[in-house]
Amino acid sequence: MSEYLLEARGITKLFPGTRALDQVQLQVKPGEVHALCGENGAGKSTLMNIIGGVFPPTEGEIIFDGKKIAPRNPKEAQDLGIGFVHQELSLCPHLTAAENIFIGRLPRKGSMIDFKRLWEEADRVLGQFNANFASTAVVSDLTVSERQIIEIAKSVSLNCKLLILDEPTSSLTEKETTRLFQVIRELKEKGISILYISHRMAEIFEVCDRVTVFKDGTYVTTMETSECTADDIIKSMVGRELGNMYPPKSSHIDQDDIILKVEHLTGEIFKNVSFTLRRGEILGFAGLVGAGRSEVMRGLCAIDPTSGGQVFLEGSACSFHHYRDAVNAGICYLTEDRKNQGLFLGMSIKNNMSSANLKGVSHGIWLDDGMEKDLANQYVEQLAIKLPGIEYPISSLSGGNQQKCLVGKWLSLHPKVIIMDEPTRGIDVGAKREIHNLLRNLAESGMGVIVVSSELPEVIGVSDRIAVMHEGDLAGMLEGEDITEENIMKLASGEQLGVKELRE
């Protein structure tokens, strides 16, 4: 009898033009939480998709619960006892939470759905997460974090032996993350194994027993988390020491050189928000989920409607009726949801890079393929984007390289202000450092940069000043030595900072 619940042996996966996996291995013990780490493009998701029945391996075998398996689809994997919560949510937005949790296995009375039993069973499952929404709630009415809870609850309800969690906390609040970790520990006590994919080192050391590292589609090592450090994992992932994750902050920002001024901006969930952005500065926006950080940015750019306020760009009052007005003026917003709102996944890298600047690659109504290629190649080189070729679909790239393409798409318009919402969500540590350096380089070039981030270390590490939101209000502005996690969390929670907390 094997000591492992899951063994992946010599797994190789070939796609056209690339070898995604090359003879990798993975062993997961019963009742253990096992982390799988690696930079984007290392092959983590490819192996998970093979285990989860999304597609077969080119070579190798999978042993699960003592038997060789080859699931041909996710349903077969589920029937074997493998649950998979993908980073990209796959819920039916028009159905209720309960219907999504039990989709394909709704309780019935004869030929009719037994809704009373459905609500009761769904409430019981959601109760494990202390969910603050009813099982009868329609998914489209819920927040991203609430939808993530449904995805996890759905897999837990399958009574699986192995639960694969791919970046499960990427959209969760701190409270929801704490509860998820409790559920993971409870599942572990029941003998259920967890395969945990995350780029967040703190999470790996908090909940995981062992960690396996992949690099460039190959197996590197497996370590006990009790016997290694974050630096050990990072060095295995990237093959080198990363050094400081954040570049030095600017030391020569002209306090009076205001590139963007916002006065009393008011929208549906935020009100009277006023702030300034200096040329060459990175201004961070922090706050709890639902505080209105992203909504302020979307209102500023006329993506969402506003009911009051004024925007000044380089001293001139602006009137934006549509997002295109803001873009034409020189303000670009890079959405946190790059796959659904930022990129055209079915199109080529070349087409994506030119999609915001069609006039720049056209003669009249005709696109110039040569100009498109030149533009794409310019930003591929400038941003050091790793890709097989600009004609490949952008969906073939890793998260970090997709994010760089999104940046290049908007940089082609030479904006004065660039707003990046969750710039490193779902990106590995190596790519995060590259994005952080890119942000600082943009600021140093004279651009105004705004970063919205739910990761406190990131917003502290990259920002020259930080605006903190609380329930739709701008609770305070921090800079210099006042930028601490404690001060941010106090403002984000609605507390006032005393004189002693603000250094003179």
265 close to 457: Cβ distance less than 8 angstroms: no
pLDDT of residue 241: 55
CA distance 477 to 284: 10
238 close to 39: Cβ distance less than 8 angstroms: yes
CATH number, domain at 89? Answer: 3.40.50.300
Query: Nearest 5°: CA angle at 354, between 352 and 357?
Result: 130
Q: pLDDT tens per residue, the chain (504 residues)?
A: 578 999 999 999 998 777 889 999 999 999 999 999 887 678 888 999 999 998 999 999 999 999 999 999 988 998 899 988 877 677 899 999 999 999 888 888 888 988 999 999 999 888 877 788 989 999 999 877 788 788 888 887 887 899 999 888 876 767 778 878 888 898 898 899 999 998 788 889 999 999 999 988 999 999 999 999 988 887 888 765 555 678 888 877 888 899 999 999 999 999 999 999 999 999 999 987 778 999 999 999 999 999 999 999 999 999 999 999 999 999 999 998 787 788 888 899 999 999 988 888 898 889 899 999 999 999 888 888 888 889 999 988 877 888 889 888 998 899 999 999 998 877 777 778 888 998 999 999 999 999 999 888 889 999 999 999 998 999 999 999 999 888 898 898 787 776 444 444
Q: How far is CA 120 from CA 35, 279, 453, in A?
A: 33, 56, 37
pLDDT of residue 84: 87
The answer as to whether 368 is a domain residue is no
Phi, psi of 139 (to 5 degrees): -55, -40
Per the structure, the complete domain to which residue 21 belongs is given by 6-238
Element at 177 (helix H, strand E): helix 174-189
The answer as to whether 447 is a domain residue is no
Element at 193 (helix H, strand E): strand 193-197
pLDDT of residue 500: 46
CA distance 47 to 11: 8
397 close to 349: Cβ distance less than 8 angstroms: yes
Helices (H), 318-422: 323-329, 349-354, 369-382, 399-411
pLDDT of residue 79: 87
- Answer positive or negative: Cα dihedral of 340, 312, 273, 468: positive
The answer as to whether 457 is a domain residue is no
The answer as to whether 112 is a domain residue is yes
Question: Could you count the other beta carbons within 10 Å of the beta carbon of residue 104?
Answer: 6
Domain count of the fold of the chain: 1
Tokens of 149: 């809870």
215 close to 21: Cβ distance less than 8 angstroms: no
CA distance 46 to 58: 12
Helices (H), 52-173: 74-80, 97-101, 115-127, 144-156
pLDDT of residue 503: 47
204 close to 181: Cβ distance less than 8 angstroms: no
Q: Which of 444, 407, 447 is nearest to 427 (CA)?
A: 407
List the beta bridge partners of residue 322.
none
The answer as to whether 178 is a domain residue is yes
Q: Which of 122, 116, 146 is nearest to 133 (CA)?
A: 146
In order, the DSSP letters of 1-45 are --S-SEEEEEEEEEETTEEEEEEEEEEE-TT-EEEEE--TTSSHH
CA distance 385 to 438: 12
211 close to 225: Cβ distance less than 8 angstroms: yes
The answer as to whether 444 is a domain residue is no
Identify residue 474 by its one-letter amino acid code.
Answer: L
The answer as to whether 480 is a domain residue is no
Locate the DSSP E strands across 267-400: 273-278, 282-287, 308-313, 316-318, 331-334, 362-363, 366-367
Burial of 364 (0-12, 13-18, 19+ CB in 10 A): exposed
Q: What is the DSSP letter of 85?
A: E
Tell the residue number behind the tokens 């916002």, with chain if given. 262
7-21 CB burial, b ≥16 within 10 A, e <16: bbeebebeeeeeebb
The answer as to whether 282 is a domain residue is no
Contacts of 323 (CB under 8 A, 6+ apart): 301, 302, 303, 333
Burial of 31 (0-12, 13-18, 19+ CB in 10 A): middle
234 close to 429: Cβ distance less than 8 angstroms: yes
Burial of 314 (0-12, 13-18, 19+ CB in 10 A): middle
pLDDT of residue 504: 40
pLDDT of residue 242: 53
479 close to 316: Cβ distance less than 8 angstroms: no
CA distance 416 to 380: 21
Tokens of 158: 């399958």
Tokens of 173: 């609040």
